Structure 1
Amino acid sequence: MPRVLVSDKLSPTAVQIFKDRGVEVDYLPDLGKDKEALLAKIGEYDGLAIRSATKVTEKLINAATNLKVIGRAGIGVDNVDIPAASRRGIIVMNTPFGNSITTAEHAVALMFALARQLPEANASTQAGKWEKNRFMGTEITGKVLGVIGCGNIGSIVASRGVGLRMKVLAYDPFLSEARATELGVEKVELDELFPRADFITLHTPMTDKTRGIINADAFAKMKKGVRIINCARGGLIVEADLVEALKSGKVAGAAIDVFETEPATDNPLFGMENVVATPHLGASTTEAQENVALQVAEQMADYLVKGAVSNAINMPSITAEEAPRLKPFIKLAEVLGAFVGQVTEEPIQEVEILFDGQTATMNTRALISAALAGLIRPQVADVNMVSAPIMAKERGIILSEIKRDKSGVFDGYISITVKTAKQTRSIAGTCFSDGKPRFIQIKGINLDAEVGQHMLYTTNADAPGIIGLLGTICGKNSVNIANFALGRNQPGGDAIALLYLDGPFPENVLAELRSDERIDSAKPLSFDVVN
C-alpha cells in the first residue's frame, strides 16, 4: 500500500480521500515547519502533500528515496525545487483550478476597493470622522480594464469585467482570437494595453520573461491616473518603481495582494494612502481551501493507485480513463527506446519518433517520455518518464515527432530512429491483443519477436549455417533459447536474429560467438518486462 505524508494543514475530508482510495496516510500538519524532522522522516513515503509552509528543497528531495509524487494544494509551486524533483523522477502536481474563482473575485474586490477608497474611508469613519468630501472615487462602468495573463484566473476576471460593462483588453501570448471573441475581450500587445487601460490587473505566472513586467518603462507608457491590481505573484511588479509612480501621481492607486518578499512585514508600499494591501488572500476562502485540498488528494491517490497523472508541472497528463489503454504502449515505447539505447554506443544527436495508426491518437507526450526513459537508462540507471525529457535536453538531443494514419497491416505501431555522428539506427514495435510489446522491424528488416527480459541481438550476412551456429554455441554452453526470430532485407543481403533467452548471455559465450567471422555483431540485451 502506498504511503503519503501530509506535512501541512489539510482538510480532514482530503485525508479521508487518501484512505478511501487505498493509500496509507500520515497527517502531521506541523512537520513541514521543522526542516530537520521532515528530512529524517521523508524517506518513508511515496507521496508528499503540502501547502505553502513546507519547503521542498533539493536537500529534502535527495533524502526522499522512495518519493514518487509531490502534491501542492494550490496553484503556486514556488516552494518546490521542480528541477531537482524532475531530475529525481518525482512528479510535481498542483491544483490550478481549485482557487481560480476565489482569486478572481479577490482581484475584482480590490478593484472596487481601489476605485472607491474603501479601506481609507472605513478607517476614517470608524475613527469618528465624517470626511465625505475627502473620498471622491471613480466609476468602474465604462472604464478600460487591462488584463495581463488571460488563463484560468485572468479569463474569469475578464468575464467579470465585461459583466461590469467595462471595455476589456487582454494580453496573453497564448490567447487565440477565437477565445478572445468568446470572452468578449480585445486581444492586444502590452504596448497597446499600457496607454489605454484605466485599470491593469495581473494574472500571469512568474517566469524569467514576466519577472518585473511592470517596471519604470511600463509606467512611462501608461496613462496618468491608472490603477494597478496584483493578485498573481510578487515580483511581477518592481516595487521600487511602483512607489515612485505612486508618488508622482502617474499611478492613482495600487491594490497589492502579493509581494516580492513574503511574509511582507516591512515594505516601502506600506503606509502610502493610495495603496490597498492584503496578506496574500487570493485563495483564502473556505470553499477554495476545501476544493484544493480535495483535488490534490484525489490527484495523488489516482496516480499512486491507478497511474493517472493530472495537473502535473513536469509530466504529461494521463487520465484514469486512458491509463489502462495507454499502459501497454508506454511499456512498448520504453522497450523500443531501451533497445536503441543498448545497441548505440556513440552519443545520440537526434531522435525521431513515429506514431502510426491508433498510436497517433494516443497521449504521445507520455509515450515520448517513456521512449526517452528507455533510451537513456543504459547510461543513467535511475532515469524515468519525468526526468528523461530533461536529461535528453541537457544532452543536446534534438527530438522530433511524426504522426500519421494507419499505413500497414498493424492497427498501430511506434518507430524510433536515432542518429549519431556516424550512423542511423531504427526499430519499430507494436502491442498485440495480449498487451505485450513485440518487435516488428529492426534496421528496416521485418520480423516478429517477443520481448523477453534477456535477449541476444546479432547481425550477419544472410548465408546458410547461421541458425545452426547460434544453436550449437548456445546448446553446448547450456544457454536455453525460449524463442528465436529472424529477418533479412533480401536473399544474400543483411540479416538479423533476436534470441529470447531464459537467462543472461554469458560473457565467455559471447566472446566465442563474436570470434566467428560469420557474425558481424552480437549484443546481449536486457529489458524490464514481465512475461
Structure 2
Amino acid sequence: MAPRVLISDALSPAAVALFKDRGVDVEFQPALGKDKDKLAAMIGGFDGLAIRSATKVTSKILDRATRLKIIGRAGIGLDNIDIPAATAKGVIVMNTPFGNAITTAEHALALMFALARQLPAADASTQAGKWEKNRFMGVEITGKTLGVIGCGNIGSIVAERAIGLRMRVIAFDPFLSPERAMDLGVEKVELGDLLARSDFITLHTPLTPQTRNILSAENLARTRKGVRIVNCARGGLIDEAALRALLDSGHVAGAAVDVFVTEPAFENPLFGHPNVVCTPHLGAATNEAQENVALQVAEQMSDYLIRGAITNAVNFPSITAEEAPKLKPFILLAERLGSFAGQLVDSGIKKVSLVYEGGAAELKIRALTASAIAGLLRPQLADVNVVSAPAVAKDRGIVIEETTREAESDYESVVTLTVETQERRRSISGTVFHDGKPRIIWINGIGLDAMIAPAMICVSNEDKPGFVGRFASILGNAGVNIATFALGRDREGGSAIALVEVDGVVPDEALAQVKKLPGVKEVKALTF
C-alpha cells in the first residue's frame, strides 16, 4: 500500500504533484492546519504530515497520530512542532534549511539598505505630497563594518554579498572554523569585539537558550554609537524594550526587524519609532523560496517514505538514498545485537559501548547506534524506537560510547555491543554476510557462528561431555524442535556458549530443567 501524506498548510501545487509522481498518496487540505480538532481527527490515517507555520503539531495531535512516521516543515523554523514529543513517538522531524536561504539573506540586505537610506519614511513622505529632500540624509554602506552574528548558511551568504558591496565583514560564530572564515573573507571575532566595532549588525542564528537575548540590554549598551541593527532570523534574539530605549536615546541610529518575540505582531515596543523599519516576517516570502521549500520538503518526505533516505532531520542522523540500502542490513544487525543483550540484562544499565570495525566503521554509525540502543531498551520499554532511544538512554543516565577502527579479524565488518550493568559486563559481536542476514560471531569473547532467528535459546555452561545430549533430550521431551545448533568455547574444559534456534515457544518448565543441568550457568529464551 502506498504511503499517505497529509498537507495541512498552503504548499505549492508542484509539491503535490511531486508527491504523486513519487508514488505517495497525498491529501491536500491547505486550511486544515488552522482547525486543530479536525486535524486531530484526521491525522491517524497518515504516514506523513507536510506543514508550514500555520499548523501546530502538539503532543495532543501526536497522540492521535498512530501511523505517523515523519513530519516535514517547508521552511526553517520548527517552533510550531513539539520535537521532544515527536521524538518520543518515533516520528522523524525534518525541515528545509536551504530552500529559502538566498531569499532571507537578500531580505536582510534589503533592510540594511532601507535603514541606510531611510527608504520607507522617504517613500511615505514623498507620496504624501511632501518634498523633504534635506530631511532624509543617509549613510553609505561602502567601507562600513558589518558584524554578522551567526555565520552559517544564511549568514555566510550575507557576508559574501556584503563583501561584494565593499563592506568589511566581521563574524561571531563559535562554530565557524578559521579555515571557513578565511574562505569567506571574513574576520572571526568574539561577541564583545563585534559589538564594539560594527557599524551595522545583522543576526542569522537560531533561537536557543544560548542565543536568546544575545542582544540584551547589556550587550546593546556595548555597541558603537550610531550602530544600525537588522534582524531577519528569530524574534527573541533582541531585547525589544532595551532596543527601543537606545533608539530613543540616539545611541542606536536605526533598526530593521522582520521577526518579533510575539507573532503576529499587532503591537510592539519598536512600532512607531521614526528610525525603525518593520516587515511582517517576510524573510522567506518570495515566489522562488516558497516553491523551493515546498518542492524540497516533498522530495525529502518521499525519499524517506519510499526509499528510507533521511535528509535534514533534526532528531535523527541523515541517511542518503545511496546509503540506505547499504545501511539497512547493518541497522537490522545493530537492532538484533541490542535486543539480544537487552533480553539478557537483569539489572540497571550503566554504560553501552559500540565498536564498529572494518566496513561498518565507514557507515553512518549514529544510525546504527540508535538502532542498537532501541533494541537494547525495548525489552524493558516496549514503546522505545530508533528515534527516541538515544534521548531515553540519556534521560536514564546511560553512558553511550562509540569507537571505529580498522578490521581486526577475518570478517570484513564487525559490530560489537558491550553492556555494563551493576552486576556484570556482557559483550556480543555480529556481522552481515553477502546474503544481507545478520549473524552472531562472538558472545563474551567466545566465537561461534549463528543466524539470528525468531526464537532462540542461549545457554552459558561449563564445557563438559554430555551437555548437548541432555539438553536436546529436554527439548525433545517438551515437543520443541531444534532448527540449528551453534556451539563455541574459549578452551577445552572452559566456558562454552550454545545458541540454539528452535521452532516455537519453549515452555518455562523445559527452561527450568535445562537450568538444573550440571555446569549450566545461565539459560535465556530469546525472541526477535
Shorter-chain TM-score tier: over 0.9
Structure 2 counterpart of 1:235: 236
Structure 1 counterpart of 2:24: 23
Structure 1 unpaired stretches of 5+: none
2:349 partner SS: coil
Q: Is 1:181 matched with 2:175? A: no
Structure 1 position 402, deviation (Å): 0.6
Moved more, 506-515 or 235-244: 506-515
Structure 1 position 447, deviation (Å): 0.7
Structure 1 position 356, deviation (Å): 0.3
Structure 1 position 506, deviation (Å): 1.7
Structure 1 position 406, deviation (Å): 1.4
Aligned AA (1:294): L
2:290 partner SS: helix
Structure 1 position 183, deviation (Å): 0.2
Structure 1 position 481, deviation (Å): 1.0
Structure 2 counterpart of 1:161: 162
Residues of 1 paired with 2:294 and 2:506: CA distance? Answer: 51
Say if 1:233 and 1:258, in contact at 8 Å, map to a contact too: yes
RMSD of aligned alpha carbons: 0.7
Q: How does 1:275-286 map to 2 (within 5 A)?
A: 275-286=276-287
Structure 1 position 21, deviation (Å): 1.0
Structure 1 position 517, deviation (Å): 3.5
Q: Is 1:138 matched with 2:139? A: yes
Residues of 1 paired with 2:285 and 2:300: CA distance? Answer: 21
TM-score calculated relative to the size of structure 1:
0.98
Structure 1 counterpart of 2:63: 62
Structure 1 position 20, deviation (Å): 1.1
2:175 partner SS: coil
The Cα offsets for residues 443-467 of structure 1, whole Å up to 9 and x where unpaired, read as: 0111111100111001011101111
Aligned AA (1:410): Y
Q: Is 1:300 matched with 2:314? A: no
Q: Is 1:258 matched with 2:259? A: yes
Residues of 2 paired with 1:5 and 1:469: CA distance? Answer: 59
Structure 1 counterpart of 2:350: 349
Residues of 2 paired with 1:501 and 1:303: CA distance? Answer: 35
Structure 1 counterpart of 2:375: 374
Structure 2 counterpart of 1:214: 215
Q: How does 1:81-230 map to 2 (within 5 A)?
A: 81-230=82-231
Structure 1 runs of 4+ aligned residues shifted over 6 Å read: none
Q: Is 1:314 matched with 2:315? A: yes
Moved more, 512-521 or 456-465: 512-521
Residues of 2 paired with 1:189 and 1:481: CA distance? Answer: 68
Say if 1:219 and 1:250, in contact at 8 Å, map to a contact too: no
Structure 1 counterpart of 2:333: 332
Structure 1 position 192, deviation (Å): 0.9
Residues of 2 paired with 1:341 and 1:396: CA distance? Answer: 16
Structure 1 position 437, deviation (Å): 0.2
Structure 1 position 515, deviation (Å): 2.5
Structure 2 counterpart of 1:489: 490
The Cα offsets for residues 107-155 of structure 1, whole Å up to 9 and x where unpaired, read as: 0000000010000000000001111110111110000000000111001
Structure 1 position 250, deviation (Å): 1.2
Structure 1 position 501, deviation (Å): 1.2
Aligned AA (1:377): R
Structure 1 counterpart of 2:516: 515
Structure 2 counterpart of 1:420: 421
Residues of 2 paired with 1:171 and 1:110: CA distance? Answer: 20
Structure 1 position 57, deviation (Å): 0.4
Residues of 2 paired with 1:369 and 1:442: CA distance? Answer: 21
Structure 1 position 307, deviation (Å): 0.6
Structure 2 counterpart of 1:461: 462
Structure 2 counterpart of 1:471: 472
Aligned AA (2:148): V
Residues of 2 paired with 1:418 and 1:191: CA distance? Answer: 46
Structure 1 counterpart of 2:4: 3
Q: Is 1:78 matched with 2:79? A: yes
Number of residue pairs aligned between Structure 1 and Structure 2: 527
Structure 1 position 511, deviation (Å): 1.7
Q: Is 1:411 matched with 2:412? A: yes
Structure 1 position 509, deviation (Å): 1.4
Residues of 1 paired with 2:346 and 2:199: CA distance? Answer: 62
Structure 1 position 422, deviation (Å): 2.2
The Cα offsets for residues 173-225 of structure 1, whole Å up to 9 and x where unpaired, read as: 11000000000000011011100000000000010000111011101211100
What fraction of aligned residue pairs are identical, expressed as a percent?
Answer: 63
Aligned AA (1:323): A
Aligned AA (1:139): E
Structure 1 position 162, deviation (Å): 0.8
Residues of 1 paired with 2:455 and 2:287: CA distance? Answer: 56
Q: Is 1:364 matched with 2:365? A: yes
Structure 1 position 508, deviation (Å): 2.0
2:317 partner SS: coil
Residues of 1 paired with 2:108 and 2:71: CA distance? Answer: 29
2:16 partner SS: helix
Residues of 2 paired with 1:406 and 1:227: CA distance? Answer: 57
Structure 1 position 242, deviation (Å): 0.7
Residues of 2 paired with 1:179 and 1:240: CA distance? Answer: 35
Residues of 2 paired with 1:295 and 1:106: CA distance? Answer: 21
Moved more, 464-473 or 138-147: 464-473
Aligned AA (1:507): D
Structure 1 position 513, deviation (Å): 1.6
Structure 1 position 59, deviation (Å): 0.5
Structure 1 counterpart of 2:43: 42
The Cα offsets for residues 226-247 of structure 1, whole Å up to 9 and x where unpaired, read as: 0100000000001111111111
Residues of 1 paired with 2:323 and 2:26: CA distance? Answer: 26
1:379 partner SS: coil
1:349 partner SS: strand
Q: Is 1:400 matched with 2:408? A: no
Moved more, 90-99 or 9-18: 9-18
Aligned AA (1:322): E
Residues of 2 paired with 1:8 and 1:484: CA distance? Answer: 56
Aligned AA (1:457): C
Structure 1 position 380, deviation (Å): 1.3
The Cα offsets for residues 468-504 of structure 1, whole Å up to 9 and x where unpaired, read as: 1221111111111111101111111111100011212
Residues of 2 paired with 1:333 and 1:161: CA distance? Answer: 48
Residues of 1 paired with 2:41 and 2:471: CA distance? Answer: 54
